[in-house]
């Protein structure tokens, strides 16, 4: 096949391709339009045959006029050629004027035809361009009429849009309270009842009450879907409780002005939202000085803050180092939704943003749960640093024990109520819902032999406490694992408080053999082979004295050292 043939075939393929695509697109568009509304589709396409008819008629007439014009031009040229070619003869017969008139008539015919062609083109262009505009206007008018008469589907959507526009929010309007005195950040949640508007029959909070004293760290834990984030949503004033109230420093939260409240109460959520601006502008979100954008003044809460202070907050959020390493530092753009930063970096900027408002209450809603281990530990260090400073109340939701174990108070939320509250160690001892959560987490995260080890360890702690409460402080503890993998503790008592009849230090004696590694409650611990000493009081064990409590703590610390506990197990230690 020659190259020319090949080109022709390729061109033919291309034409067929374009033709089929156009055909399919026309057919599907028509089918879709007909399925929505037949009359409007007819109106929309009424111009098509008219445009086609006009074009066909126009091209025939246009061709005819063009041919006539060309012929008349040829005639005029012939006259001119004749005159110019025979100039001396014309002059000899004084026929100049006659020839001039001949040419004038011939070129006049041509001029007339060209004028006719231009006029015709004008009419054609105007009609073919105007027609679609007219049709669009008719479609809009007629479509609007059909929609307003409820004859088209879109009418439903429009009604919904109007409904939404006219909807009155269920939440009360913010008050205008802006106390001049410094707030301390104490929260009280009183008998909260709440169901989401989308599911009014499902009660999410069912009489939840909780005291969150100022400058304390309170953790909300509990099984998934039991209302922890809902509590945060109510404190953030996203929803309004159907019954009960939330007080901030003794005043119902809705009485505060919008700007004041959100300056005092700050949040770091699971998914930090950054805007396509510089890091500095993201930290200053909602606090920057008034700016002009496209001629409009954007006025906002203007909280005075210096560059040094911004850097201090970034340091507290563990973000300053990575920001300084960027070529543009705090002026570096973060990209759309912060795409140019890692999850951990975004989260630390979000923390800096929350801190920059100098809040009195900081809400941390799963602030580390979406991060990898390295980012999590960096963000966690930032949170720990803030908590240590103790300058604000912190309400923290986290599934990981390591995040909440140092809180002043841990509240277990189940079925929309607080079912248990207290410190980590007290709740572990109680062996209730919190202890079960701990066990579930260990079961889910660790291989079973490690889980058994952890359970033994918890039981051992309990056994030692009970032992010390009954028999006095412990001087030394020896630990070993039996062949059947049970943990055995041998205890030597401290001689100064030991109340042996003969005053001798007891030999190491086995107090905490824990044979059943699968038992699931701390209460299963028993002291199998009591050390020599006074019999337990019949009135039950008395509260350990200060020195006993100290000894227990020291003992446990030394056990941890001697056991060389793995890091995951250390997370649950006292
Ligand atoms: N916007 C919403 N509309 C309707 N129901 C919702 C809404 N948000 C949450 N819920 C429901 O409310 C209940 C409590 O949800 P919430 O997010 O407070 O639980 P949670 O304890 O924080 O769970 P998790 O630990 O998984 O975050 C769940 O049953 C949930 O499906």
| Ligand 1 atom 5, closest CA | 196
Q: Helix, strand or coil for residue 474?
A: strand
| Ligand 1 atom 20, closest CA | 225
pLDDT at 188: 93
Give the tokens for residue 269.
């959520």
Alpha-carbon distance of 235 to 258, in angstroms, equals 13
Report in angstroms the alpha-carbon separations of 25 from 13, 30, 31, 152. Answer: 18, 8, 10, 23
For the chain of 574 residues, list the mean pLDDT of each consecutive stretch of 10: 78 88 89 82 79 83 89 90 83 81 90 91 84 84 80 65 76 76 86 91 92 91 90 90 91 88 86 83 72 48 73 85 88 79 84 86 81 68 70 84 81 92 86 82 56 57 65 59 51 48 32 31 35 33 47 59 51 46
Alpha-carbon distance of 459 to 34, in angstroms, equals 74
Backbone φ and ψ for 549, nearest 5 degrees, come out as: -60, -40
Strand 409-414 with 393-397, pairing: unpaired
By the 10 Å C-beta count (0-12 exposed, 13-18 middle, 19+ buried), 508 is classed as middle
Q: Which of 194, 210, 227 to mutate to test the pocket of ligand 1 (most atoms within 8 A of CB)?
A: 227
Locate the ligand 1 atom nearest the alpha carbon of residue 232 and give its number: 18
Alpha-carbon distance of 364 to 395, in angstroms, equals 6
What strands, in cross-sheet order, belong to the sheet with 409-414? 265-268, 361-365, 393-397, 217-221, 409-414, 417-422
| Ligand 1 atom 16, closest CA | 227
Q: Which of 229, 233, 395, 441 to mutate to test the pocket of ligand 1 (most atoms within 8 A of CB)?
A: 229
Alpha-carbon distance of 147 to 150, in angstroms, equals 5
Evaluate the CA torsion angle 61, 65, 70, 75 in order and state its sign. Answer: positive
Alpha-carbon distance of 411 to 417, in angstroms, equals 10
Question: How remote is the CA of residue 351 from the centroid of ligand 1, in Å?
Answer: 24
Give the tokens for residue 397.
């939701």
Q: Helix, strand or coil for residue 307?
A: helix
Question: How remote is the CA of residue 131 from the centroid of ligand 1, in Å?
Answer: 56
Least Cα distance to 30 among 14, 41, 15 occurs for 41
ipTM of predicted complex: 0.96
Evaluate the CA torsion angle 338, 341, 342, 344 in order and state its sign. Answer: negative
**Whether the Cβ atoms of residue 560 and residue 570 lie closer than 8 Å to each other:** yes
Alpha-carbon distance of 119 to 50, in angstroms, equals 20
Question: How remote is the CA of residue 47 from the centroid of ligand 1, in Å?
Answer: 55
Alpha-carbon distance of 557 to 286, in angstroms, equals 47
pLDDT at 511: 37
pLDDT at 220: 93
Neighbours of 423 (CB within 10 A): 15
Q: Which residues contact 335 (CB under 8 A, 6 or more apart)?
A: 276, 341
Question: How remote is the CA of residue 230 from the centroid of ligand 1, in Å?
Answer: 6
Strand 409-414 with 217-221, pairing: parallel
Question: How remote is the CA of residue 543 from the centroid of ligand 1, in Å?
Answer: 41
413 sits in which H/E element: strand 409-414
Where in 494-553 does DSSP place strands (E)? 509-510
User: Within 6 Å (CB) of ligand 1, which residues are found?
Assistant: 196, 198-199, 204, 222, 224-230
Alpha-carbon distance of 211 to 188, in angstroms, equals 5
Alpha-carbon dihedral angle through residues 287, 293, 296, 302, given to the nearest 10 degrees: 10
Question: How remote is the CA of residue 225 from the centroid of ligand 1, in Å?
Answer: 5
Give the tokens for residue 7.
């080109």
Where in 197-300 does DSSP place strands (E)? 205-212, 217-221, 243-248, 251-252, 265-268, 291-293, 296-298
pLDDT at 537: 30
287 sits in which H/E element: none
Locate the ligand 1 atom nearest the alpha carbon of residue 231 and give its number: 18
- Whole-model pTM: value is 0.56
Locate the ligand 1 atom nearest the alpha carbon of residue 222 and give its number: 21
Q: Which residues contact 418 (CB under 8 A, 6 or more apart)?
A: 208, 209, 210, 411, 412
Q: Helix, strand or coil for residue 419?
A: strand
Give the tokens for residue 42.
């007819």
Give the tokens for residue 447.
């291989």
**Whether the Cβ atoms of residue 500 and residue 533 lie closer than 8 Å to each other:** yes
Question: How remote is the CA of residue 7 from the centroid of ligand 1, in Å?
Answer: 65
């Amino acid at each position: 096949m020659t190259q020319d043939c090949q080109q022709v075939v390729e061109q033919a393929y291309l034409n067929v391709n374009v033709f089929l695509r156009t055909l399919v697109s026309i057919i599907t568009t028509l089918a879709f339009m007909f399925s929505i509304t037949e009359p409007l589709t007819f109106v929309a396409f009424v111009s098509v045959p008219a445009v086609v008819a006009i074009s066909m008629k126009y091209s025939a007439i246009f061709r005819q006029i063009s041919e006539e014009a060309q012929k008349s031009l040829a005639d005029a040229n012939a006259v001119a050629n004749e005159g110019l070619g025979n100039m001396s003869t014309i002059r000899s017969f004084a026929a100049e004027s006659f020839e001039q008139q001949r040419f004038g008539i011939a070129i006049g015919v041509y001029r007339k035809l060209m004028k006719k062609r231009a006029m015709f083109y004008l009419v054609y262009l105007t009609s073919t361009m105007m027609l679609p505009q007219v049709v669009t206007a008719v479609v809009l008018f007629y479509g609007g009429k059909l929609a307003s008469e409820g004859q088209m589907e879109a009418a439903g959507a429009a009604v919904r849009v109007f409904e939404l526009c006219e909807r009155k929010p269920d939440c009360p309007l913010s008050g205008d309270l802006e106390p001049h005195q410094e707030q301390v950040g104490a929260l009280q949640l009183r008998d909260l009842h709440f169901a989401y508007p989308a599911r009014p029959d499902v009660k999410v909070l069912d009489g939840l009450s909780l005291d969150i004293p100022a400058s304390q760290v309170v953790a909300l834990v509990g099984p998934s879907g039991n209302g922890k984030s809902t509590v945060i949503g109510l404190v953030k004033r996203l929803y309004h409780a159907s019954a009960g109230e939330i007080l901030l420093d003794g005043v119902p939260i809705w009485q505060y002005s919008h700007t004041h409240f959100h300056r005092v109460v700050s949040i770091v959520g699971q998914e930090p939202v950054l805007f396509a601006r510089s890091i500095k502008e993201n930290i200053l979100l909602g606090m920057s000085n008034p700016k002009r954008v496209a001629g409009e003044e954007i006025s906002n809460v203007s909280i005075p803050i210096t560059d040094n202070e911004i850097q201090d907050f970034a340091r507290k959020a563990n973000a300053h180092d990575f920001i300084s390493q960027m070529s543009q530092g705090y002026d570096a753009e973060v990209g759309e939704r912060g795409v140019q930063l890692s999850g951990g970096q975004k989260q630390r900027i979000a923390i800096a943003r929350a801190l920059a408002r100098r809040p009195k209450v900081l809400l941390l809603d799963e602030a580390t749960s979406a991060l990898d281990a390295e980012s999590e530990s960096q963000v966690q260090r930032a949170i720990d640093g803030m908590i240590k400073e103790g300058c604000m109340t912190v309400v923290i939701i986290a599934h990981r024990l390591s995040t909440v174990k140092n809180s002043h108070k841990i509240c277990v939320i189940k079925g929309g109520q607080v079912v248990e509250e207290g410190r980590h160690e007290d709740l572990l001892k109680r062996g209730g819902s919190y202890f079960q959560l701990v066990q579930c987490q260990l079961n889910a995260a660790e291989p079973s032999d490690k889980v058994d080890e952890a359970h033994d360890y918890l039981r051992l702690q309990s056994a030692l406490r009970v032992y010390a409460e009954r028999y006095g402080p412990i001087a030394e503890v020896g630990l070993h694992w039996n062949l059947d993998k049970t943990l055995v503790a041998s205890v030597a008592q401290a001689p100064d408080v030991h109340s042996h009849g003969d005053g001798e230090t007891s030999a190491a004696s086995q107090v905490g053999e824990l044979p059943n590694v699968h038992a699931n409650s701390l209460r299963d611990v028993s002291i199998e082979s009591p050390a020599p000493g006074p019999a337990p009081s019949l009135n039950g064990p008395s509260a350990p004295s200060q020195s006993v409590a100290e000894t227990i703590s020291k003992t446990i610390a030394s056990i941890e050292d001697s056991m060389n506990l793995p890091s995951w197990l250390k997370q649950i230690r006292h």
